Amino acid sequence: MRSPLPALGALATAAFITVLTEALPAGVLPGMSEGLGVSESAAGQTVTAYALGTALATIPLTAATAHWPRKRLLLTGIAGFAVANTVTAVADDYLLTMAARVVAGLAAGVVWVLLAGYARLLAPPGRQGPSIAFVMAGIPAALSLGVPAGTFLGGLAGWRTPFAVMTGLAVVLLVWIAALVPDQPGSRQAHVPVARVFAMPGVGAVLAVTLLFVLAHTILYTYLAPVLAGVRLDVALLVFGVTSLAGTWLVGANLDRRLRALTVASLLLFAVAMAVIATPGGGQLVTYVAVGLWGLGWGGVPTLMQTAVAEAGSAAADMAQAALVTLWNVAMAGGSVLGGLVLSTLGPAAFPWLALVLAVPTLAIVVGARVNAFPALATRVATRG
């Protein structure tokens, strides 16, 4: 039997491209602003355009392409990134660049819905958790390695160069997928309206946890510079990235047996980290430790949420994933907006407290949803059996 690693590696690279395409403008913002002749605030809206494209289009695109073979759909999504990053790399017009970012968001919606399900299908028996985590490791890799590398390259060769490199990576990935990723059929399930997906037992709880957890994380992560003004931001981001990779690995190694325990542990680590960051006078080392705990708790969250919603919404897996992706991006956009309001009214000291307040009901939902959303091992085994 052929090893699934080359195919899983292609999916992990797809996750890497998806996240890096979204986050890269933040690393080259001054040059992008000057090159497009707009303010840095306006240039920053390229991230918002991406998130809105994903949030608005994921559910209708998923419904329209539900019966497509998975490989063709994945190739279409990666081709969308190639086109969008090419336009971003060469366009001088701000509106054209914004349109390209919306296209990138559409491509992201297509790719995100596929990744976890594809990884589950490619996984050997009993290895679904590690396979999904391997693919999702592309997320912290993009944040901890891709964004700093893109920022460095932008400073060295101009802000357009990293986007051109991203196009080249997407083209290589298209060949990789075509050669080494086995095809999978599209969904044969009857189309399920999204309202019915939300009503499925357990799905609503998973989506609520996703919305609140991502909102709490994004509020702080977006405005990390003013919150961590007393430490070196590059070191803090490196610590966060490395511990996020560790968290992804730990979740993958234990996911098939401990979905519920891992979700609770992630939230507790996040809450402890927020409490430490919120408490003044801890010193730089204590702050770095808190950031490390945050990364350790956050790294496996995409894997945990995608697995939980896939199991709870198995009768309409693609639409359940589409709802998750949509709410994830709504939370990201909402976190940026809410964080801006908090920064201008209450100041950066309020961010960890707000994130901690949001973590409390999130943890309560997980603890309470012990049957359908985040079941204990015995319940999961009985359901599968």
Give the model confidence (pLDDT) of 109-120 as tens digits.
999 888 888 888
Higher pLDDT, 124 or 305: 305
pLDDT averaged over the chain? 86
DSSP state of 181: S
Name the CATH architecture for the domain at 191-385: Up-down Bundle (1.20)
Amino acid at residue number 169: L
Mean of pLDDT values over 145-151: 84
The predicted pLDDT at position 315 comes to 63
List every span in the chain annotated with CATH 1.20.1250.20: 1-188, 191-385
pLDDT tens per residue across span 214-267:
999 988 887 777 888 888 877 887 888 889 889 988 888 888 788 899 999 999
Mean of pLDDT values over 187-196: 67
CA distances from 334 to 143, 197, 261, 320 (A): 20, 23, 28, 21
Q: Which of 2, 108, 152 lies closest to 332 in space, CA to CA? A: 108
CA distances from 130 to 71, 115, 185, 257, 353 (A): 21, 13, 23, 11, 33
Q: How confident is the model at residue 32 (pLDDT cuts 50, 70, 90)?
A: confident
Max mean pLDDT among 88-92, 250-254, 372-376 falls in 88-92
- Asked if 251 and 238 touch (Cβ cutoff 8 Å), the reply is no
Q: Find where tokens 């012990």 sit.
A: 370
Higher pLDDT, 318 or 85: 85
The CATH code belonging to domain 1-188 is: 1.20.1250.20
The predicted pLDDT at position 378 comes to 44
Residue 384 has pLDDT above 60, yes or no: no
Higher pLDDT, 171 or 47: 171
pTM: 0.81
Higher pLDDT, 41 or 65: 65
Amino acid at residue number 343: L
Mean of pLDDT values over 303-312: 87
The predicted pLDDT at position 307 comes to 87
CA separation for the pair 138, 245 (Å, rounded): 9
Give the Cα-Cα-Cα angle 368, 372, 373 (nearest 5 degrees): 65
The predicted pLDDT at position 377 comes to 59
Residue 95 has pLDDT above 90, yes or no: yes
